Amino acid sequence: MQPMNLDLSGQSALVTGAGRGIGRAIGSALASAGAWVFLAARTTDQLESAAREIQQNGGTAVPVPTDLSKEEDIQSLFQRISDRAGGLDILVNNAGVGFFGPLVEFSSSDFDRVMQVNTKATFLCCQRALRLMIPKRKGYIINISSVVGFKGYPNQAAYTASKHAVMGLTKSLAVEAQEHGIRVSAVLPGGVNTKMVADARPDLDPKILLQPEDIAHTVLYLLSLSDRAAVDQIYIRRRGSQPF
């Protein structure tokens, strides 16, 4: 389901972390609205499954196996998009990893991995998307952050640091990009029924969590707004949780 009158026909979109969970739901929603969707993630079988599902529903999807911790993979991903689509209209930076535990015991290698995928890959994808969007003076970049982009929880220091960094990047980029006709927004979900949340918060009952489709609908809402509107961020929490 997509917002009324949303037609993304003729537009190209890239979703990272698109093999499962939130990214898979976003890719499906964009394709349902008519976009030509490039799906990027590291796990090939999940990507191909997501692409087949879109194609069986009448959409267009291109799976591109990509290790987002490697800059050369990101460069190849955007070269393929440029070659196949001639540009990019929508970027959804959703890929992320989470390692959890007390900071006093946390390994520096796990910290580096979280920052590499969650923050540096977001930076690199934004940079390369801008190079495709600026000449056309249009585009939309949506960064999927998290409630930990403005809150802190125990045993989540590295993940929280990475998402705070994503918010800083998003805020600065929104100012830089607007002169080129490009909008930049962040979506900050609370608990979503994904494997990462299950790992981080095993105390939460999956039945009370948001679903990946809730985040996909939020992305479609942003894309349905007129060019007059610019939204900096949307915090979407599970009902019954504490606001802010």
pLDDT digits (tens, 9 = 90+) for 197-211: 776 677 777 787 888
Q: Using an 8 Å Cβ cutoff, are 146 and 200 in contact?
A: no
Q: How far apart are CA 43 and CA 170, in angstroms?
A: 27
Average pLDDT on 227-239 reads: 90
pLDDT score of 183: 98
pLDDT score of 195: 73
Say yes or no to pLDDT of 233 above 80.
yes
* pLDDT tens-digit map of 24-39: 999 999 999 999 999 9
Element spanning 144, H or E: strand 139-144
| Fold (CATH) for 12-236 | Rossmann fold (3.40.50)
Q: Using an 8 Å Cβ cutoff, are 132 and 64 in contact?
A: no
Q: How far is CA 118 from the centre of its chain?
A: 10
pLDDT score of 1: 46
Instruction: Please pick, among 153, 159, 221, 235, the residue that the annotation labels catalytic.
Output: 159
Domain ranges, ordered by start, for the chain: 12-236
Q: Is 235 a catalytic residue?
A: no
Q: Using an 8 Å Cβ cutoff, are 81 and 4 in contact?
A: no
